[in-house]
C-alpha cells in the first residue's frame, strides 16, 4: 500500500491546525495589547487565558519579542484593512484625503481595536526606544502619515488645495485634529463624532481652492452629494 | 536627664532620610515610566537599578499600584510646574492661551520627561481601563484640557476670539495640533518647532476678532512685541 498521499494529508492538516492555533493566540494577544499595552502581553498570561501550556505557546512564538512583533503586525493589518486599503479605491486628491479622515474616525467608533493603544499609545510609548518593536510601531504610524501626506500632495498638485503650507505640515495638522478628537472622546470632554467630522471637513474647505464649490464642505452629507453630482 | 529633645531630633532625621529615599525611588521610577511606560515599572527592576532590597522598596510603596500612582502624581507635578503654573501668572484670555501652547511645546523641546509616555501615551494606554491609576492619568489630561478650554472661554468672553465654535471644541483642536506636531517630531516627519509655533499662532489669529491687530499673530516674536507695546 502507498500511504504517501495520506501522509501528505495529515502533514497539511497539522500545518493548518497549527495556523489556526497561531491565529487564535494572536487574536487574544491583540485583545490584551490593544487594551492594556504591549507590556501587559506576557507568555504566562496568554497561556492562562488560552488554557495552553507555556511550552505550547513558545512553539508558536519563540520569544516575547517575536510575540510582540507578530501582534504589532496583526494590528497594522487590521488598521490597513479598516482605513488604508478602502481609501486606496477612491480618487486621488481631496476625495481620498476625506475618506482617510472619515475612516480613521470610523475605526474608533466601530472599535476595530478593543482599546486605544494602537497606534497612538504605542507610538508615544515606544518612540524613544531602540529595537525592532519600536521600529514596527513607528513604521505603522509612518504608513498612515504618508497616506495622509500623499493625499494632501495630490490635492495640491490638482489645485484642489492651496499650497499655504507644505503637504507634511497639513497632514500633521489633520492627524493632530484626529488625535485631539480621540483624546477628547476618551476624556468625555469633546464634541460628538458628527461635530468632529463637520469641523474637520470645514477645515479642509478652508484649505481648498475654488476648484470645488464651498458648499461641498458644509457637512459630510454635502460632500457625498457633491461627489455624486460631479461630472 | 531629659532625652525627649534628642529623641525628637533623630526621629525627624529618620523621617527626612526616609523622604529622601522615597524621592530617589520616585525619580528613578519616573525615568523608567516616562520612557517605557508604567508597565515597565516593577519593584524588582527598581530594586536592581537602585541597588536596594525589594523589602526596602516595599517599605516605601506597599504595592505596585501605590508605586504607579505615586509616579503618575510625580509626573503630574512636573507637568504642572513646567506648563500650568507659569501660565497662571499671565493675563486671562489669548495671552494665557498662547503661553499654554508655547510652554507645552517647550516641555517637549526641553525634555522635561525622559520619554514621550506622559501623558499622551499613558492616556491612550489607560483610558479604557478601570481603577485608580487610569483615573489619575485621565485627571492629569483633563486638568490640561481644562486650562486650555478656560483660556479659550476667557478669550471669547473678552471678545478676543470669535465664537465660531464652543470653547471645548477649539481647545480640543489646539490640543490635537500639539499632539500631531509631537507625533510628527517623534517620526521625524514634520515641521520644526519654529514652524509649528508659527502655524499654531497663525491659527489662533484666524480665530481672533479685530480686538488684537492681525500682525500680532504673524510670529511668536510679533506676539511678544505686541504684548510689550500693549497699553
**A142/B172 touch (CB, cutoff 8 Å), yes or no:** no
Count contacts between A and B (CB, < 8 Å): 169
CA distance A113 to chain B (A): 11
CA distance B62 to chain A (A): 21
**Model confidence pTM above 0.90:** yes
Within chain A, which residues score under 70 in pLDDT?
1-9, 189-190
Residue of A nearest to B142 (CA): A187
**A190/B168 touch (CB, cutoff 8 Å), yes or no:** yes
Task: Quote the pLDDT of residue A2.
Answer: 52
- Which chain B residues are within 8 Å of A39, Cβ to Cβ? 36-37, 39-40
Task: Quote the pLDDT of residue A231.
Answer: 75
Domains of chain B by start residue, with CATH: 64-229 (1.10.357.10)
8 A C-beta contact, residue B178 and residue B102: no
CA distance A66 to chain B (A): 18
The 10s digit of each residue's pLDDT in B113-171 is 999 999 999 999 998 899 999 999 999 999 999 999 999 999 999 999 999 999 999 99
Residue of A183, A186, A206 to mutate, interface with B, max B Cβ within 10 Å: A183
Asked whether the ipTM of the predicted complex exceeds the cut of 0.85, the reply is: yes
Would you state the cell numbers that stand for residue A87, as one nine-digit string?
481609501
**B191/A168 touch (CB, cutoff 8 Å), yes or no:** yes
Task: Quote the pLDDT of residue A178.
Answer: 97
- Which chain A residues are within 8 Å of B168, Cβ to Cβ? 184, 189-191
Could you tell me the CA-to-CA distances from B187 to A123, A127, B66 in Å, in that order? Answer: 9, 8, 33
- Which chain A residues are within 8 Å of B164, Cβ to Cβ? none
The 10s digit of each residue's pLDDT in B164-191 is 999 999 999 999 999 999 999 999 866 7
**A124/B195 touch (CB, cutoff 8 Å), yes or no:** no
- Which chain B residues are within 8 Å of A191, Cβ to Cβ? 166, 168-169, 172
The 10s digit of each residue's pLDDT in B12-62 is 888 888 889 999 999 999 999 999 999 999 999 999 999 999 999 989 998
Percent helix / strand / coil, chain B, rounded to 5: 75, 0, 25
- Which chain A residues are within 8 Å of B179, Cβ to Cβ? 176, 179-180, 183
Taking the C-alpha atoms of residue B114 and residue A63, their distance in angstroms, rounded to an integer, is: 28
Residue of B32, B42, B105, B128 to mutate, interface with A, max A Cβ within 10 Å: B128
CA distance A60 to chain B (A): 24
Polymer length of chain A? 231
Residue of B nearest to A141 (CA): B187
Rounded to 5 degrees, φ, ψ at A121 are -60, -45
Alpha carbon of residue A121 to chain centroid: 13
8 A C-beta contact, residue B174 and residue B100: no
Percent helix / strand / coil, chain A, rounded to 5: 75, 0, 25
Residue of A44, A115, A127 to mutate, interface with B, max B Cβ within 10 Å: A127
A100 Cβ contact list (under 8 Å, min separation 6): A83, A84, A87, A147, A148, A151
Task: Quote the pLDDT of residue B122.
Answer: 96
**Which candidate from A124, A175, A190 shows the least CB-CB separation from B124?**
A124
Confidence of residue B2 (pLDDT cuts 50, 70, 90): low
Would you state the cell numbers that stand for residue A140, as one nine-digit string?
505603522
Task: Quote the pLDDT of residue B185.
Answer: 92
Residue of B138, B184, B204 to mutate, interface with A, max A Cβ within 10 Å: B184
Q: What is the dihedral of CA A150, A153, A158, A161, to 10 degrees?
A: 120
Task: Quote the pLDDT of residue B188.
Answer: 85
Task: Quote the pLDDT of residue A116.
Answer: 94
Amino acid at each position: 500500500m502507498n500511504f504517501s498521499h495520506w501522509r501528505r494529508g495529515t502533514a497539511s492538516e497539522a500545518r493548518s491546525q497549527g495556523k489556526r492555533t497561531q491565529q487564535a493566540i494572536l487574536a487574544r494577544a491583540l485583545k490584551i495589547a490593544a487594551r492594556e499595552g504591549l507590556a501587559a502581553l506576557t507568555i504566562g498570561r496568554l497561556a492562562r487565558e488560552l488554557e495552553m501550556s507555556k511550552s505550547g505557546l513558545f512553539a508558536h512564538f519563540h520569544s516575547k519579542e517575536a510575540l510582540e512583533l507578530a501582534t504589532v503586525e496583526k494590528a497594522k493589518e487590521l488598521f490597513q484593512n479598516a482605513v488604508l486599503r478602502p481609501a486606496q479605491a477612491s480618487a486621488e486628491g481631496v476625495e481620498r484625503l476625506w475618506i482617510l479622515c472619515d475612516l480613521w474616525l470610523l475605526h474608533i467608533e466601530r472599535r476595530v481595536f478593543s482599546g486605544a493603544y494602537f497606534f497612538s499609545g504605542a507610538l508615544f510609548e515606544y518612540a524613544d526606544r531602540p529595537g525592532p518593536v519600536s521600529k514596527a510601531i513607528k513604521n505603522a504610524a509612518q504608513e498612515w502619515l504618508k497616506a495622509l501626506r500623499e493625499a494632501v500632495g495630490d490635492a495640491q498638485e490638482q489645485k484642489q488645495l492651496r499650497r499655504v503650507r507644505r503637504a507634511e505640515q497639513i497632514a500633521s495638522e489633520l492627524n493632530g485634529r484626529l488625535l485631539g478628537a480621540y483624546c477628547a472622546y476618551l476624556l468625555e470632554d469633546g464634541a460628538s463624532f458628527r461635530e468632529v467630522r463637520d469641523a474637520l471637513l470645514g477645515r479642509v474647505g478652508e484649505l481648498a481652492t475654488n476648484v470645488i464649490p464651498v458648499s461641498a464642505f458644509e457637512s459630510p452629507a454635502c460632500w457625498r452629494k457633491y461627489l455624486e453630482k460631479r461630472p
